[in-house]
């Protein structure tokens, strides 16, 4: 049986990476082979593109170049890692996927929904996650988290608070447009509370897993 593809989306500092690790561990414990990956990146080639696109000043690439670099990385990721994993029955959790291109390049950078949809359709057809968890959080609080993590800021972390507010609205719009596969959670809650909500979302979507996943 084909595996399931789950993406985590949202702005910066919302705690996606930690929660992706926790969910992968819970699924593995339930006896499901799970592949944890991220975008941009996930394969050797896509990680090289990630370095290109995330480093440097915010005006290094135009929105359109950024979109094409993201999709170049994505196609490599889908062809070499995601689709083969799903085919052998593994589940894939990706920290970001195509909806990030829609939110960041399509909305926040102003390229427009139609252009991003057209690029997606041209290179990946209708390929999308089976389930997307949206980490919704007040951007002011989220940026404080990013600062206290003490990591180097990526080109996107360094954008203005207005940019991050636009992003939040963009993700809400994308969630409304794809309500069949979206589940929004309040990422401002505690780590354990967020984890519980994610496991709830998983058991809503996959009732067969109820009782096999811990943490509830
Ligand atoms: P990362 O450090 O992984 O950020 P986060 O922890 O917030 O996920 O950097 C990924 C950055 O790339 C993030 O700022 C969002 C951006 N991005 C896009 O602009 N478009 C895309 O299609 C993807 C996948 C990511």
Q: Count the Cβ atoms, other than its own, within 10 Å of residue 39.
A: 21
**89 Cα: distance to centroid of ligand 1 (angstroms):** 27
Domain definitions of the chain by residue range: 5-209
The string of pLDDT tens digits covering residues 1-21 is 899 999 999 988 889 999 999
Residue pair 110/66 in contact by the 8 Å Cβ criterion: no
Q: What is the pTM of this model?
A: 0.94
CB distance 99 to ligand 1 below 6 Å: no
What are 167-187's pLDDT values in tens digits? 999 999 999 999 999 999 999
- Residues 6 or more apart whose Cβ sits within 8 Å of residue 191: 15, 18, 19
Phi, psi of 93 (to 5 degrees): -110, 120
Q: Which CATH architecture has domain 5-209?
A: 3-Layer(aba) Sandwich (3.40)
Closest ligand 1 atom, residue 151 Cα: 2
**CA dist., res. 22 & res. 184, Å (int):** 17
101-150 confidence digits (pLDDT tens): 999 999 999 999 999 999 999 999 999 999 999 999 999 888 888 788 76
């Amino acid at each position: 049986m084909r595996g399931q593809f789950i993406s985590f989306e949202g702005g910066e500092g919302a705690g996606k990476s930690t929660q992706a690790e926790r969910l992968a561990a819970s699924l593995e414990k339930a006896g499901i082979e799970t592949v944890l990956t991220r975008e941009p990146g996930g394969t050797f080639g896509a990680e090289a593109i990630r370095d290109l696109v995330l480093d440097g000043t915010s005006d290094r690439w135009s929105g359109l170049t950024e979109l094409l670099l993201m999709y170049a990385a994505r196609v490599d990721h889908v062809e070499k890692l995601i689709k083969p994993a799903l085919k052998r029955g593994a589940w894939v959790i990706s920290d970001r996927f195509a909806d990030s291109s829609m939110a960041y390049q399509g909305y926040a950078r102003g390229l427009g929904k139609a252009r991003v949809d057209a690029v997606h359709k041209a290179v990946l057809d209708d390929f999308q996650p089976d389930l997307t968890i949206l980490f919704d959080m007040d951007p002011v609080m989220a940026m404080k988290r990013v600062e206290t993590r003490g990591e180097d800021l990526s080109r996107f972390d360094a954008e203005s608070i207005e940019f991050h507010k636009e992003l939040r609205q963009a993700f809400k719009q994308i969630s409304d447009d794809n309500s069949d596969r979206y589940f929004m959670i309040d990422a401002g809650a505690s780590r354990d509370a967020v984890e519980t909500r994610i496991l709830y979302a998983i058991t809503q979507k996959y009732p067969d897993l109820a009782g096999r996943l811990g943490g509830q």
